[in-house]
C-alpha cells in the first residue's frame, strides 16, 4: 500500500496499483487506517493501574480514571521486578506470554519477544486459536501448507468457496474470481451462513455445520464410482488411494444427505461438476476447521484435487494457505536455543485456547504473570466468562502491550503503548499470495509508542540478559530471517525488498508478474514422510485417528444428545468490516456493522414465540448473552449466528465468546468456535 506523508503526518492511504495481487485497492477497514493511527483513543504512554481490575469505561474513549501515566523506565523496571519475584517464588514457568495476530509482521509476530521469553524460561504458548487444525489436516496429506496462487483463480472454470467468506475476509481474491466468472466460470459456496460471498454465488449450499468430512467423502464416492478420477495422477503421486476408494464406499450420497442436509442429488451434481468442469479449484478457508472435526475436514477436502488430478492444471488445485512456501529462518528469529535448561527439559506449553483453564485451574506452577501483546484474549478467546474470572484474579500480574484500550487492558496492571505498521519497519510474508514484502516506516511513533521488538529489547536489558542477539537491530533480524536454506528465497535480499517493495518467491521464471505460473504439485513435490500425497497416513493411525478419513460428528452438534437440551448450532462469526476484535472500536467503521444481533431462521423463531427485533437470551452451560433477534434468511433452521465484537461494546459487557468452548479440535489442538450448541428464548426481565 502507499501512504502519503506531508510534514511528518500521513495524509492519505491507498492500494498500490503496482502490486500484482492487491492491484490498487484496500479493504474497507484498512482504507480507514488513518482514523486508527490518529484516533484520540490510542494508548500513547505507559500507565499503571490505580483502580480495581475490571473497572471499565463503557465507551471506547481513553479511560482516564483507572490509569496513571508512568515513564517507560518505571514500567519496564516494574515488570522486570515482578518477573524476578514470581520466578524466584514459583519458577519462571509461572510467567506466560500471550500473543497472536495483532501484527503478522515477521519481527512483531515472533522475534525479540520469543528470544526474551525463551531466555527467561517462561511457559511456552501453543498458538492454536486460528489455524492449527487446518494446517495439521493439510500437512497430513501434503506435508506442507501451501497451494494454488491467487492469480490462477482467474483461469478457473469451476470455483468452490468452501468455508471461505471471500468477499468478507479475503477481498483481494475476489477480482480474480470475477474475472473467471466473466469468462464463464461457476462459483459455488459451501457455507451454513449466507455470507456476502454466498449471496453473489451461482450456487449456495448451506451445509449443516461440522459435516464437511461427510460431503468430501461423498463427493469422492461419486467421482470414483463414476470413473471421473485421475487414475494416472493417483498412481504416480499418491499413497493409499485404494484404501481411500474403499473408504468412500461408506459414504453414498443418500447417507451424506442425512448428515449434511443437502439432497442426495445435489451431492452427486456437485461431485460431477467439480470433476468435469475444468479447470476446477477449491478456495478452502479456515472456517471449516473451527469445528471439532476440523482437522479431518481439511484433510478430506484437501484430497479432492489429487483424486481429480487438478494440480496439473493452471487454475486448478486448492488454496488453504500459501504460508508454507516462505520458509523464512524462524529459528534465527526466535532463538529456541536460548531456552533456560535448568529444568532439564523444555518449559511447559500452555494452549492459548485454554487460557480460562490455565488461569483458574490448579496448575503447577500456577500462572502468576501474564504478558499480552498482539492479542485481545478478553474478546477473542473461547469460554469468555472463565477467561474474565482468571483475569480478575488479584494475585495475577498482567501486562498488556496494545494500541488501544481493549477489553484485555481493562484487567491489566500495566499497559504499554504499541506502534502501528505506519510507525515501524517490517518484513511481511503472506498467507494468501506468494510475495515477500517490506513495509517501510512512514511516520514517527505516536506519543511514546514502541514496536514489539523494542519493548522486549528494553525488558531484556532490565533483566540483565547479556546475549548479543538482544542488541540486533530490525534490519539485522530481517537479514537473519532471509538467511534460510529455502531455494525459493534465492535472490530475495533485504536491499532488493527495500527497492522493489514486494518480490515474488523465486519459483523459477524471472520472479516478476507474468513469469511461470506456480504449480506446486503438478508432478509431486510433497513434503510428507513418503514423498507422496498421503491419502493413507500411518502418523494419523498412530494417533488413534482414521488413517484415511472418517466423519465423526462434533460433540456439540445436532447429531448428539446435548442437542436435546441445547438444540441450536451457533456460528460465533467474524464481522466483515472488523478484523477479529481489531477495528471494532473505530467510530468510522461501526456504522457498517449492526451490533448485538442474533440471526435465526423464521421457523426457530416462531417455535419460540420470537419476532424480529425482540430481545432474546442465548445460553448454554457456559454462559448467556442478551441479543436482539434478527429473523432472516442468513441461516437455515437449526442454526443461529452472531458476530465477534469487543465485550465492553456489547450491551451487557459480554461478547459471543461466553457461549463458545475450550474444547480442542481433532488435530492440531485448535479452537472449536463453530462447534457450539445453544438454546434461545425470549428475554423476560425479572
Ligand atoms: N473482514 C475480515 N476479514 C478477515 C478477518 C476478519 O475478522 N474480518 N479475519 C482474518 C483471519 S484471522 C482469518 S483466520 C481469516 C479467516 O477467513 P475464513 O476462513 O473465511 O474465516 P471464517 O469467517 O472463520 O469462516 C469462513 C466461513 O466458514 C463458515 N463455516 C462455519 N462453520 C462451517 C462448517 O462447518 N462448514 C462450512 N462449509 N463452513 C462453515 C462460516 O459461516 C464462514 O462464513 O480471515 C481473515 N480476514
Ligand atoms: N467467536 C470467535 N472468536 C474468534 C474468532 C471467530 O471467528 N469467532 N476468530 C479467531 C481467529 S481466526 C483469530 S486469528 C483470533 C484473533 O485473535 P487476536 O490475535 O487476539 O486478534 P485481534 O482481536 O485482532 O487482537 C489483536 C490485538 O493486537 C493489537 N495489535 C495490533 N498490532 C500490534 C502490534 O504491532 N503490537 C502489539 N503489541 N499489539 C498490536 C490490536 O490493537 C488488537 O487489540 O480470534 C479468534 N477468535
Ligand atoms: Mo485467524
Pocket of ligand 1 (CB under 6 A): 101, 130, 162-165, 168-169, 190-193, 195, 207, 209-210, 212, 285-288, 290-291, 571, 573-576, 578-580, 674
Domain ranges of the chain: 1-31, 42-129+328-489, 148-320+527-542, 561-682
> What pLDDT score was predicted for residue 60?
45
Q: Region 122-140: what's the mean pLDDT? A: 98
Checking if the pLDDT of 72 tops 80, the result is yes
Checking if the pLDDT of 26 tops 80, the result is yes
Cα 71 to Cα 593: distance, rounded to the nearest angstrom: 38
CATH architecture of residue range(s) 42-129+328-489: 3-Layer(aba) Sandwich (3.40)
> What pLDDT score was predicted for residue 652?
87
- pLDDT over 70, % of the chain: 98
> What pLDDT score was predicted for residue 516?
83
Tell me the longest C-alpha to C-alpha distance in the chain. 72
Checking if the pLDDT of 510 tops 60, the result is no
> What pLDDT score was predicted for residue 56?
64
Is the CATH code 3.20.20.150 the one for domain 561-682? no
Burial (CB count <10 Å: 0-12, 13-18, 19+), residue 183: exposed
Q: Considering every ligand atom, which ligand is closest to the CA of 298?
A: 1
Name the 3-class secondary structure at 622. coil
Residue with cell 501434503: 142
> What pLDDT score was predicted for residue 633?
82
pLDDT band at 55 (very low <50, low <70, confident <90, very high): confident
> What pLDDT score was predicted for residue 64?
54
Q: Region 205-224: what's the mean pLDDT? A: 98
| Spatial contact of 213 and 654, defined as CB atoms under 8 Å apart | no
Checking if the pLDDT of 57 tops 70, the result is no
Q: Region 282-291: what's the mean pLDDT? A: 97
> What pLDDT score was predicted for residue 58?
46
> Measured in angstroms, how far is the CA atom of residue 171 from the centroid of ligand 2?
19
Q: Average model confidence (pLDDT) for the chain? A: 96
* Ligand 1 atom nearest to 674, measured from its CA: 32
pLDDT band at 509 (very low <50, low <70, confident <90, very high): low
Pairing of strands 568-573, 597-600: unpaired
Checking if the pLDDT of 331 tops 70, the result is yes
**Best residue for ligand 1 mutational test, from 104, 137, 169 (most atoms within 8 Å of Cβ):** 169
Nearest residue (by CA) to ligand 2, atom 23, is 581
User: 203 has which bridge partners?
Assistant: 188
> Measured in angstroms, how far is the CA atom of residue 169 from the centroid of ligand 1?
7
**Best residue for ligand 1 mutational test, from 205, 286, 295, 589 (most atoms within 8 Å of Cβ):** 286
> Measured in angstroms, how far is the CA atom of residue 582 from the centroid of ligand 2?
6
Q: Region 155-183: what's the mean pLDDT? A: 97
pLDDT band at 515 (very low <50, low <70, confident <90, very high): low
Q: Any idea which of 93-107, 339-353, 570-584, 600-614 has the lowest mean pLDDT?
A: 339-353
* Ligand 1 atom nearest to 29, measured from its CA: 1
Domains 42-129+328-489 and 148-320+527-542 fall in the same CATH topology: no
> What pLDDT score was predicted for residue 368?
98
* Ligand 2 atom nearest to 419, measured from its CA: 35
> What pLDDT score was predicted for residue 372?
99
* Fold of the domain spanning 148-320+527-542: Dimethylsulfoxide Reductase; domain 2 (3.40.228)
Cα 46 to Cα 69: distance, rounded to the nearest angstrom: 6
Nearest residue (by CA) to ligand 2, atom 20, is 375
**C-alpha cell read off for 640:** 443461529
| Spatial contact of 347 and 123, defined as CB atoms under 8 Å apart | yes
* Ligand 2 atom nearest to 377, measured from its CA: 20
**C-alpha cell read off for 249:** 464406499
**Best residue for ligand 1 mutational test, from 134, 165, 576 (most atoms within 8 Å of Cβ):** 165
What residues have a C-beta under 5 A from ligand 3, the ion? Answer: 130
pLDDT band at 429 (very low <50, low <70, confident <90, very high): very high
Pocket of ligand 2 (CB under 6 A): 100-103, 108, 129-130, 373-376, 379-380, 401-404, 406, 418, 452, 572-574, 579-582, 644, 656-657, 660, 673
Give the residue with greater pLDDT, 278 vs 61. 278
| Spatial contact of 604 and 637, defined as CB atoms under 8 Å apart | yes
> Measured in angstroms, how far is the CA atom of residue 601 from the centroid of ligand 3?
27
In 3D, which of 681, 598, 596, 682 has the Cα closest to residue 647?
596
> What pLDDT score was predicted for residue 61?
47
Nearest residue (by CA) to ligand 1, atom 46, is 169
> Measured in angstroms, how far is the CA atom of residue 574 from the centroid of ligand 3?
9
* Ligand 2 atom nearest to 108, measured from its CA: 35
Residue with cell 484435487: 305
Cα 126 to Cα 403: distance, rounded to the nearest angstrom: 24
At residue 19, φ and ψ (nearest 5 deg) are -80, 125
Structure confidence by residue, pLDDT tens digits, 488-508: 999 999 999 999 999 999 998
Q: Considering every ligand atom, which ligand is closest to the CA of 197?
A: 1
> What pLDDT score was predicted for residue 684?
83
pTM above 0.85, yes or no: yes
Q: Region 254-278: what's the mean pLDDT? A: 98
Report the Cα 202 to chain-centroid distance in Å.
27
Amino acid at each position: 500500500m502507499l501512504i502519503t506523508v506531508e510534514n511528518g503526518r500521513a495524509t492519505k492511504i491507498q492500494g498500490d496499483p503496482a502490486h500484482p495481487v492487491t492491484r490498487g485497492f484496500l479493504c474497507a477497514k484498512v482504507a480507514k487506517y488513518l482514523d486508527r493511527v490518529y484516533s484520540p483513543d490510542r494508548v500513547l504512554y505507559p500507565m499503571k493501574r490505580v483502580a480495581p481490575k475490571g473497572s471499565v469505561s463503557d465507551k471506547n474513549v481513553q479511560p482516564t480514571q483507572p490509569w496513571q501515566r508512568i515513564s517507560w523506565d518505571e514500567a519496564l523496571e516494574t515488570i522486570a521486578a515482578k518477573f524476578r519475584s514470581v520466578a524466584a517464588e514459583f519458577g519462571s514457568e509461572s510467567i506466560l506470554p500471550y500473543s497472536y495476530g495483532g501484527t503478522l509482521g515477521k519481527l512483531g509476530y515472533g522475534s525479540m519477544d520469543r528470544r526474551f521469553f525463551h531466555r527467561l524460561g517462561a511457559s511456552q504458548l501453543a498458538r492454536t486459536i486460528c489455524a492449527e487444525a487446518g494446517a495439521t489436516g493439510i500437512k497430513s496429506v501434503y506435508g506442507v501448507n501451501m497451494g494454488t496462487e491467487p492469480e490462477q483463480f482467474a483461469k478457473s472454470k469451476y470455483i468452490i468457496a468452501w468455508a471461505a467468506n471471500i468477499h468478507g475476509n479475503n477481498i483481494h481474491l475476489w477480482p480474480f474470481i470475477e474475472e473467471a466468472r466473466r469468462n464463464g466460470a461457476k462459483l459455488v459456496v459451501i457455507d451454513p451462513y449466507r455470507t456476502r460471498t454466498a449471496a453473489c454465488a451461482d450456487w449456495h449450499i448451506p451445509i449443516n455445520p461440522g459435516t464437511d468430512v461427510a460431503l468430501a467423502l461423498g463427493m469422492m464416492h461419486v467421482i470414483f464410482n463414476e470413473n471421473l478420477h485421475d487414475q494416472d495422477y493417483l498412481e504416480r503421486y499418491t499413497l493409499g488411494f485404494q484404501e481411500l476408494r474403499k473408504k468412500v464406499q461408506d459414504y453414498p450420497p443418500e447417507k451424506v444427505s442425512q448428515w449434511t442436509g443437502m439432497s442426495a442429488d445435489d451431492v452427486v451434481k456437485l461431485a460431477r461438476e467439480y470433476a468435469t468442469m475444468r479447470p476446477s479449484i477449491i478456495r478452502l478457508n479456515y472456517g471449516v476447521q473451527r469445528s471439532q472435526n476440523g482437522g479431518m475436514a481439511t484433510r478430506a477436502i484437501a484430497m479432492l484435487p489429487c483424486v481429480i488430478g487438478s494440480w496439473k492444471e493452471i487454475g486448478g488445485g486448492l488454496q488453504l494457505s500459501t504460508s508454507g512456501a516462505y520458509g523464512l529462518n524462524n529459528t534465527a528469529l526466535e532463538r529456541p536455543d536460548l531456552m533456560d535448561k535448568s529444568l532439564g527439559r523444555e518449559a511447559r506449553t500452555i494452549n492459548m485456547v485454554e487460557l480460562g483453564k490455565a488461569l483458574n485451574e490448579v496448575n503447577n506452577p500456577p500462572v502468576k504473570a501474564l504478558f499480552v501483546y498482539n492479542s485481545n484474549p478478553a474478546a477473542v478467546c473461547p469460554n469468555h466468562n472463565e477467561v474474565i474470572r482468571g483475569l480478575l484474579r488479584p494475585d495475577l500480574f498482567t501486562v498488556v502491550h496494545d494500541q488501544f484500550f481493549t477489553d484485555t487492558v481493562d484487567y491489566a496492571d500495566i499497559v504499554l503503548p504499541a506502534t502501528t505498521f505506519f510507525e515501524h519497519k517490517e518484513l511481511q510474508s503472506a498467507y494468501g499470495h506468494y510475495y515477500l514484502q517490506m513495509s517501510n516506516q512512514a511516520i514517527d511513533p505516536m506519543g511514546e509508542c514502541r514496536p514489539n521488538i523494542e519493548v522486549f529489547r528494553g525488558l531484556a536489558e532490565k533483566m540483565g540478559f547479556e546475549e548479543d542477539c538482544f542488541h540486533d537491530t530490525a534490519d539485522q533480524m530481517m537479514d537473519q530471517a532471509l538467511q534460510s536454506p529455502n531455494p525459493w528465497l534465492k535472490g530475495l535480499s533485504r536491499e532488493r525488498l527495500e527497492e522493489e517493495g514486494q518480490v515474488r518467491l523465486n519459483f523459477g521464471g524471472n520472479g516478476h508478474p507474468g513469469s511461470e505460473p506456480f504449480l506446486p504439485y503438478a508432478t509431486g513435490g510433497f513434503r510428507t514422510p513418503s514423498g507422496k500425497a498421503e491419502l493413507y497416513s500411518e502418523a494419523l493411525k498412530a494417533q488413534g485417528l482414521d488413517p484415511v478419513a472418517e466423519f465423526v460428528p462434533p460433540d456439540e452438534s445436532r447429531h448428539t444428545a446435548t442437542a436435546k437440551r441445547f438444540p441450536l448450532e451457533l456460528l460465533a462469526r467474524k464481522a466483515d468490516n472488523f478484523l477479529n476484535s481489531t477495528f471494532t472500536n473505530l467510530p468510522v467503521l461501526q456504522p457498517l456493522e449492526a451490533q448485538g444481533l442474533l440471526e435465526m431462521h423464521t421457523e426457530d423463531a416462531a417455535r419460540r414465540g420470537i419476532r424480529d427485533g425482540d430481545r432474546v437470551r442465548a445460553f448454554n452451560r457456559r454462559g448467556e448473552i442478551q441479543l436482539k433477534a434478527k429473523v432472516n434468511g442468513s441461516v437455515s433452521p437449526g442454526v443461529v449466528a452472531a458476530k465477534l465484537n469487543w465485550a465492553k461494546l456489547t450491551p451487557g459487557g459480554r461478547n459471543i465468546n461466553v457461549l463458545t468452548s475450550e474444547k480442542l479440535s481433532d488435530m492440531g489442538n485448535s479452537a472449536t468456535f463453530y462447534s457450539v450448541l445453544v438454546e434461545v428464548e425470549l428475554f423476560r426481565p425479572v
